[in-house]
Amino acid sequence: MAIEDDVLVVGGGLAGTTAALAAAERDVQVRLVSYRQSTLRNASGLIDILGYTPAGDGPLVDPFEALDDLPTGHPYERVGSEAVREALAFFDGIVGDAYAGAHTDANALVPTHGGTVKPTARYPTSTAAGLASDDRDALLVGFETLPDFEAPLAASHLEAAGAPFTARGVTVRFPGIVRDDAKVTRYAHLLDHDETVETPAGETTAREALAETVRTHLEGEARVGFPAVLGDDRADAVRADLGDRLGVDVFEVPMGPPSLPGIRLEDLLYEALEAAGVRVTTGVPVVDYETDGEGTNATDPERIDRVVVDRNGAEVPHRATQYVLATGGLVGKGVQSERDGVFEPLFDCHVPQPADRYDWFVDDVFGDQPYARFGLPVDRDLRPLDAGDDPEFSNLRAAGAVLGGYDFAAEKSGSGVSLATGYVAGRRAAEGCR
C-alpha cells in the first residue's frame, strides 16, 4: 500500500487542528481524521496558558514567569516556554483581529457567566470591553429564556471578588424568542439578520427591540455585557450596532456549552485547514492500526505503518509517514477507564496509574485529584513513552488533553497546552517526513 500522506492527525479539536496547520506550514501533505464533531463548540473560546500553578498559586499575572518552574513531565516542561510563545504567535497569525491579547505577556481577567474571572492569554475581541481590569461600571444583561446566565448573580459575584467597578445585573425578555430550549444559534441568527420581531409596541427589528429593552435599564454605565449570543457570521456588526444604539461599549460574557465563541473559533481553524490544503475527514473513527514489525529495541522502536478507520461499516486503511494523536483526555474519551485500569484505546499507549483504584482519587471533592493528571507520558519530542520510559513508536506524537502530568481544570491551562503541544507535535511530525 502506497503512502497517502506525510502526516496524519487523529483528532479534530484545538490540539489536532493546530498540529495539522503547523505541519502543513512545512509544505507536507496532511490529513486530519476525526470521529466526532469538534469539541471546540463546547469550549469557551478563551486561550488560557496558565492561570494557576500546580500548587494553586494565582491567579498569575504573567504565566510565562511560572512556566520554567513546572514539574518534570508537565506538557509545558516537555516543550519549553519558547515553544509556547511560538505557538501563541502561530495562533495569532491564524485568527487575526478576531482575538486580542497579543500585545502583552500578562494574563487578562475575563468575566465568565458564573461571575468568576478567568486568567487568559488570548480572548475574543467580543469580550475585550468586559475585562475585569477595566474600572468602568458595567450592566450585565441576562435573558429569561437563557437560564445558564443569571446576570444579577454574576454581577454580585464580580463585586464580591473585588472587581474595581460597580456591576449590576438585570434579566430581560429576548425579542422574538419565547422558549427556554432555543439553541444559542437561534439568538445569533435573529441578530445576524436583524429579523423582524413582534413587541408590545408593534413590529420592529431584533437589534432595535433588544436595544430599546436594555436602554430602559441603563443607569449611566459605560459598558453592557450580554451572554455570548450576539451573532455568529456578523458578530462584529451586531455588537457595534447595539453599542451605537445604546451609546455604550458592548461585550460578550463567555458561556458554557454549546458556545458560540467556541463555534466561531472552530470556523476560523477549519477555514485555515481548507486554505492550507489539509484533507479533513470527519465521522470516521480509527478502529485499528498496523506496525511495520521492524522495531528491534528501545532505541529503534516500531513504526506505525497504517491506521484503519471505520467508514460506514467498511474498514479503510490510511497510511502516512508520521502520526499525531490528539483525541482528548478522560472527558473526550481519548483516555478511558474501566474497573481494572485506565488506558489509551487507539494505540494502547501506556497510561501511568496507581495499582489500587482507590488511589485514583481523594475524598475531598475539591482536593488535588490524581485522576485529573492521568494521560500519556511523553519525551521532549512528544512521543508517548512505555512503562520503561522508552518511545512506544518512533513516528507517533501526542498532543493536547491526551497527555498526562497536568490538571487543566485547576491550572486553567487546557487550551494553552493543546495549542503548544499541537504546534510542536505538528512541526516535529513534518520534520520527521524529511
With contact defined as beta carbons under 8 Å apart, do 374 and 341 qualify?
no
Nearest one of 370, 360, 403, 408 to 385, comparing CA atoms:
403
263: cell is 463555534
State the Cα–Cα distance between residues 161 and 117, nearest whole angstrom: 9
What pTM value is reported for the model? 0.94
pLDDT at residue 362 in the model = 66
Q: Which residues pair with 204 in a beta bridge?
A: 197
Look at residue 397 in the predicted model and tell me its pLDDT: 98
Q: What local confidence, expressed as pLDDT, does residue 295 receive?
A: 64
User: 245: part of which helix (H) or strand (E)?
Assistant: helix 235-246
Cα 108 to Cα 128: distance, rounded to the nearest angstrom: 9
The DSSP call for residue 251 is E
**Please, where are the H alpha helices in 33-122?**
64-67, 75-79, 81-95
Q: Please give the domain boundaries of the chain with CATH numbers for all domains.
A: 5-98+263-431 (3.50.50.60), 113-253 (3.40.50)
CA atoms of 3 and 6, how far apart (whole Å): 8
pLDDT of residue 339: 82
Residues 347 and 323 sit within 8 Å (Cβ to Cβ) = no
Q: Which residues pair with 168 in a beta bridge?
A: 139
Q: What is d(CA 398, CA 414) in angstroms, rounded to the nearest whole number?
A: 15
pLDDT at 428: 98
Confidence (pLDDT) at 39: 79
DSSP string spanning 31-54? EEEESSSPGGGGS-S-B-S-SS-T
Residue 92, all three cell numbers? 495569532
CB 90 within 8 A of CB 423: yes
Q: Which is it for strands 396-398 and 320-325: parallel, antiparallel or unpaired?
A: parallel
* H/E element, 110: strand 108-111
pLDDT of residue 48: 95
Q: What does the alpha-carbon distance between residue 411 and residue 52 come to, in Å, rounded to a whole number?
A: 5
Per-residue confidence in pLDDT tens, the chain, 434 aa: 556 899 999 999 999 999 999 999 999 999 999 987 777 888 889 999 999 999 999 899 999 999 999 999 999 999 999 999 999 999 999 999 999 999 999 999 999 988 889 999 999 999 999 999 999 999 999 999 998 899 999 999 998 888 899 999 999 999 999 887 788 899 999 999 999 998 888 899 999 999 999 999 999 999 999 999 999 999 999 999 999 999 999 999 998 888 899 999 999 999 999 999 999 998 889 999 999 877 656 667 899 999 999 988 889 999 999 999 999 998 788 999 888 889 999 999 999 998 877 667 766 656 677 778 889 999 999 999 999 999 999 999 999 999 999 999 999 999 999 999 999 999 999 999 98
* Pairing, β 286-291 against β 304-311: antiparallel
